[in-house]
Structure 1
Amino acid sequence: MEPREFFIEDRLERFRLKAFCNLGESGLSHFLLEEVMDMGQISWKDLAKIPMNDSPNQGSLELRQAIADLYPGVSAEQVLVTTGTGEALYLTFHIAVPQKAKVALIWPAFQALYEIPKMLGAETIKVPHDRAFLASTWKAVDADLYIINHPHNPTGKTFSDSEWNALIAHFKEQKKTVLFDEHYRFLPGVGSLGRTGVDPKHSFYGTGSFTKCFGVTGLRVGWLVAEESFLKRARSFKDYLTHTVSPISERIALSLLQSKESFLPKIQARVRKNIQSFDSHWKDLPHTKSFTAPQGGLVGWLELESGISSEVYADRLFEKTGVFVLPGINFEEEGYLRIGFGEREDRMIEGLSRWRECTDLI
């Protein structure tokens, strides 16, 4: 079975590189290679010494250890380096989702989280975001695999401490298999690193990356965390896909993880400032109804006035102002816009000004 068109990625491909103000992407606006090298404290001489053979299929030991260090109790042998989080998800679902399985996830969702299980013959159980961050909601859901995407894309919601603890306790008690998709751990609402539910000994798998949070999506580095037996199957499956990640990408990724404390606070401050700016001005934007500032991550969910096509609104906004936003219909939920907060601060301010003054969108 073939998956449907990837609505989100198709629109991003058409607009993201042309936009004056890019509020449609879910990652931080990109840095230049020389800026990235400075962030990772890498010299050109360091790169010149990289052997251009294949990296180990599972990923270099040093990089896997740096990733394992992000998770309590996880070892390097429980980490598989992948070509972006997309490959990690693809591998996980092909191994963990048999035909006719039930997969529960927070709705709306990033399309890959439900489209791949659907392609594999699974039934998806959509848990609405307005109830999904209460542990009691999940106690009433019967599934073979639970997907917990937090901070959530597209709403920016996450769990309170008490609800989180209750949720983890429930999953452990009931011996549930859970995939924690934690792409935005590096951008929590407060603090330096967000919570994780990943715990291989309880079949709590994890997928993640730093590339969106660090402004280096072009590195295409992600990972899967799981117990060794599951990871062995995923590693073998990976031989049929990308096989290995570029040794250049792995070397830069390692340095960025090792140096993150030196640059991540500035990124976090920038994102939080953009969120605060948007939260202060969204009521002045034409035909908008409600917005709740995200509790973590890089994206938020802006509600439009009733009856407005999100795609028409987004198209006209881009045509008239150069401001790119992602229509909710790309998440199969009408009446909303997903707003990304990774743009440069000066462009964010100018983009909001243009948007506010554009009163003929409808």
Structure 2
Amino acid sequence: MELLRSFFMEDYLEGSRFTARYNLGESGGRPRTVGELLTGSGVGPQQAMDTFLSTLLRDSPNWGRADLRELVAAMHPGATRDNVLITTGTSEALFLLFRQLRPRKVALAWPAFQLLYELPMQQGAEIVRLPVRWDSRGVPSVDTGEWLARLESERPDVVVINNPHNPSGLVLSPESLERVSRWVEKSGATLVGDEHYRFLSSESETLGATVYRPGMRSFVTGSFIKCLGCPGLRIGWCVGDTAMLARMQNEKNYTTHTVNPVAEWISHEVLKELRSPALTEAREDWRRNRRTLAAFLERSQGVYGVAPAGGLVTSIGVRGVASTREFEAKLQALGAAGVFVLPLSAMEYGEPSGSHPLERGHGFRLGLGIAPELFPEALETLERVTRG
């Protein structure tokens, strides 16, 4: 593997994530405390203190705690705990998985989270872009027929489905997922599902759809840490073929080896009841901020777009911007007013020849991971600056 390039998005986020008055650049939920997570998962303060203070800081099992793996398996129909490897976040899961797949050609929705294409690209893989497009109102969509035609002509050996999609907030329809999955199965390719936002991908169900299917060529990576605003837990998983997971676990012995036992304990408490107050509150925050954003965008004269169908991010355009210089001036003005957003250029998206302003990079990723009480104030500040 070649040396990895700078993680452009992370470098940009680090500049303001801890200092901005209104942090709308992050892709996770409102940050939670350990106490909020545990209390919301039915663990009282005394029990939490007793368990924490008595937890042995030894290695966890190499594959992760058996009871935690069983909870993850239960979220993926057809899987058993032997199909689950617990990892230090989904980034490690994807790193280990791509190291084993060693793909020749990878297809994925574009724009994309850098890790999803950087890892295979630095192993020599060619990247096939499956376009996400926006209409004049900033509503994202995909043409499944166009995707299938590109898959058929390019013949990738790995297809990555990031659903809900970062940064558009798009949730692929069941029909689209089925058609792409059928093509993958027929072609002999491997399907990789990045399902980090699965807990926030359905209006009515705690868990949205998964692309996981039992077999040797279907893998899913996921977590709850973004959805619940606790990325500091650094917990994730990969679900898939046991033999492949064993090879991934062997390489994990050379990196993080095992997951922190405190993080595993908290994760088990969070996942043992999917209708817990902790998950319910996180989902209600998400729904509330989606409603707030949708109402704001209906009347905004400074920006355009839609609230995400799933996940915690969406792509927003700025009205009246005709050049990159004008857009960058708006970004600087937003920063000066305390509003931090992530320009699409930080995700390596935007070409001068793009047919839509967002395709030219004249937009930003906006996150919903802010307290619902503060979100309207942040949006009004954004409106004041972008209209000026």
Same fold (TM over 0.5): yes
1:68 to 70, 73, 92: 73
- Superposed, 1:115-126 pairs within 5 Å as 115-126=118-129
Q: How many residues align?
A: 357
Distance 1:198 1:35, change over 3 A: same
Displacement after TM superposition at 1:44 (Å): 1.1
| Matching residue of 2:346 | 330
**8 Å contact kept, 1:175–1:202:** no
Q: Is the partner of 2:51 in helix, strand or coil?
A: helix
* Separation of aligned partners in 1, 2:273 and 2:266: 11
Q: Is the partner of 2:18 in helix, strand or coil?
A: coil
| Matching residue of 2:171 | 158
| Matching residue of 1:129 | 132
Does residue 317 of the first structure (1) align with residue 334 of the second (2)?
yes
* Separation of aligned partners in 2, 1:211 and 1:155: 20
Report the residue type matching 1:222 in the other structure.
Answer: G
Distance 1:202 1:139, change over 3 A: farther
**8 Å contact kept, 1:89–1:207:** yes
Q: Is the partner of 1:281 in helix, strand or coil?
A: helix
* Separation of aligned partners in 1, 2:332 and 2:120: 31
Structure 1 stretch displaced more, 187-196 or 335-344: 187-196
Report the residue type matching 1:344 in the other structure.
Answer: A
**8 Å contact kept, 1:189–1:297:** no
| Matching residue of 1:210 | 224
Supply the RMSD in Å over aligned alpha carbons. 1.8
| Matching residue of 2:190 | 177
Does residue 138 of the first structure (1) align with residue 154 of the second (2)?
no
| Matching residue of 1:18 | 19
Normalised to the residue count of structure 2, the TM-score between the two structures is 0.87
Displacement after TM superposition at 1:318 (Å): 1.6
Displacement after TM superposition at 1:292 (Å): 2.5
Distance 1:132 1:144, change over 3 A: farther
**8 Å contact kept, 2:57–2:261:** yes
Q: Alpha-carbon deviations, 1:106-147, whole Å to 9, x = none? A: 000000001111111111111111297444233221101111
Distance 1:242 1:235, change over 3 A: same
**8 Å contact kept, 1:90–1:116:** yes
Q: Is the partner of 2:15 in helix, strand or coil?
A: helix
| Matching residue of 2:352 | none
**8 Å contact kept, 1:317–1:355:** yes
Does residue 112 of the first structure (1) align with residue 115 of the second (2)?
yes
Q: Is the partner of 2:85 in helix, strand or coil?
A: strand
| Matching residue of 1:343 | 370
Displacement after TM superposition at 1:25 (Å): 0.5
* Separation of aligned partners in 2, 1:144 and 1:359: 43
Distance 1:41 1:48, change over 3 A: farther
Normalised to the residue count of structure 1, the TM-score between the two structures is 0.93
Unmatched 5+ residue regions in structure 1?
none
What percent of counterpart residues are identical?
A: 36
| Matching residue of 1:277 | 292
Displacement after TM superposition at 1:48 (Å): 2.1
Displacement after TM superposition at 1:253 (Å): 0.4
Q: Is the partner of 2:121 in helix, strand or coil?
A: helix
| Matching residue of 1:251 | 265
Report the residue type matching 2:347 in the other structure.
Answer: F
**8 Å contact kept, 1:134–1:159:** no
Report the residue type matching 1:169 in the other structure.
Answer: R
Does residue 201 of the first structure (1) align with residue 215 of the second (2)?
yes
* Separation of aligned partners in 2, 1:206 and 1:286: 40
Unmatched 5+ residue regions in structure 2?
134-139, 350-360
